Amino acid sequence: MNTRPAARYVLFDVDGLLLDTEIIYTEVTRDIVARFGKTFDWSIKANMIGRAQMESSRYLVETLELPISPEDYLEERNDKLRAGFPDCRAMPGAEALVRHLHAHGIPIAVATSSSRELYELKKSRHGAWFELFEAEISGDDPEIRQAKPAPDIFLAAAARIGARPEETLVFEDAPSGLAAGIAANMRVIAVPDPNMDRNRYTGATEILASLEDFDPARYGLPAR
């Protein structure tokens, strides 16, 4: 860590990192697959988390051998998600960290695989602190040719705030996001769900149990 320059820019994933949306994704998917006598658990979810929605949907349908198409699953899933997302809560430490960085003039941005439509619903009750981000890049942004684990979304977010990759710190909860950040030549702080295997986070600069545990001073950012 100390061989790289101090972090001057910070990028954030959203689902499971800033906002507690994964519980909603899980409940909705469990309800859908249960109709077909199937079980959705972390052995499957762990391979879907953080990926583009069509890619993860294909994986789900094929793995559980569901008698529906990925498109049909997504249509039903997204209808149910639209009802649940406006009530999602912030993850512990998320708002405080975002406000701290903004208060000290650190350029920050969102880089989420979510579509813009669903992202807007997720942040709807958190507008006061989401307005502090200088850029918000969603997975359906026209600049994003390949989803995570490709680096496209982090490189696009960095470009929007004038960031140099080697001076950029990424916060992620998913292995695909970790791989994307590393591919973008950025340092990645992983904050995995407790159900995720920590062995899937090789290459992370640091692995934390919560954003509350992050020490900005370790990376040359203003202490709190």
Q: Which residues are catalytic?
A: 13, 15
Measure Cα distances from 29 to 175, 191, 218 in Å. Answer: 20, 23, 39
Distance CA 9, CA 192 (A): 21
Residue 1 CB contacts under 8 Å (≥ 6 apart), including other chains:
187, 205, 206, 218, 219
CB atoms within 10 A of CB 63: 14
- The DSSP 8-state label assigned to residue 1 in this structure reads -
Measure Cα distances from 140 to 38, 68, 111, 116, 178 in Å. Answer: 30, 24, 11, 7, 19
The answer to whether 139 and 153 are in contact (CB under 8 A) is: yes
